[in-house]
Structure 1
Amino acid sequence: LAISRKPAVRKAVVALLGGVSVLLVIAIPPGPSLLHKAETSVADSIIRKSGNRPERQDLVLLGIDDASQSGSDLDPAVIAADSLLQKMTQRFPWDRSVWAAAIDRLADAGARLIAIDLILSEPSSPEGDQALADAIARHRDKVVLASAFSPSAANLVGQDKFTLTEPLADFFGPGPDDTRCGFTNFDRDEDGVVRAVGRAPHSFLCG
């Protein structure tokens, strides 16, 4: 870029270039963010072009939809004859005896692992809680319960403190490691996509 030797023109050009530089700094996001976006874009493209992985035939997800809660897909006579189906048509959350029966039936059907994606941290009816605790005890080698952690409201600057929400103690069994428990937390990238799952030991969260 050739700049005139006249002082006034030189000052004007320098001021203009300085203003443009400031605008570019404001308009362009920081470098790490751009690099991260480029990296994730390339990784996503590679995964998409590599083709879909075959579905795992040994993995089954059981979800709770409107039909599950209303029983609209079932004959009313069938619901009337089954106490568990009657409980499932009641207001959610269901009585925990429903989950107890689900654990028993899944285990009897040959399930090797039963992960319950519900944080059972609050007591329910004594009968329902006892039924679920008994079912977990019967299949303790297969059941995995859910917990979640969140930043503590009392966090101090520079310190990482978490509040851990766990299932009721009755569901864990007499020993500290009798029943397995996993975390339901996922860290999303800037674009809201989950691309990785972090792992943290229990002692790190509670220490």
Structure 2
Amino acid sequence: MAVSRRSSAWSSREVAGSAATSISTVPPTRRACGRARCRCNLPRAATRVRSRAPHRPPDSRLAGVELPHLDERGAARMVDVSGKDVTARTATATGRFVTTAAVIDLLRRDGLPKGDALAVARIAGIAAAKRTPDLVPLCHPVALHGVSVDLETGEDYVDITATTRTADRTGVEMEALTSVVVAGLALYDMVKAVDRGARLTDVQLRHKAGGRTGEWDRP
């Protein structure tokens, strides 16, 4: 019984010592509540770690610029173009589909498992231009009068050029850009069986004409 009481005494001291040690690790300005998963048992610095985005100074070029797709409350809207004149408008967009030289050789020889990829991409781009208002929420439905999609193969790439034309109250830049993107997606779908690393890059507006702002060309 003496041995048992001594062991019990040592156990009590060990428990008390370990408890004192654990309490001593809590910052002196905070009080431990005794719960193992409570945040108060964490070091103070650990509870203050936050990721902050780097501060960016305002762009002076945007001073006084208002986005027409936002109303006075900041809510999105479709811009009212009913007061604009109907004029001839055109837009050209480009993009590059990058793959491998072996895939380009298959494209030229019509040797891909799914068939003529260039023809499919061309039709996909034309169809996409006509469906742009269904894909881009605030884009106006425009009666397109002409869409052309050209695909030119290089050593390990395909250059995509889409040109859209209309006579309307708003431009057709979005239609040209959408045409390039979907033509590139169609190309990827056609070649992914032989090159999953293919990619579409450098999609951009190259030219627009018509409307109040007239002509614009990418520098």
When the two structures are superposed, what TM-score results if normalisation uses the length of structure 1?
0.21
Greater relative contact order structure (CA < 8 Å, 6+ sep): 2
- Higher strand proportion: 2
When the two structures are superposed, what TM-score results if normalisation uses the length of structure 2?
0.20
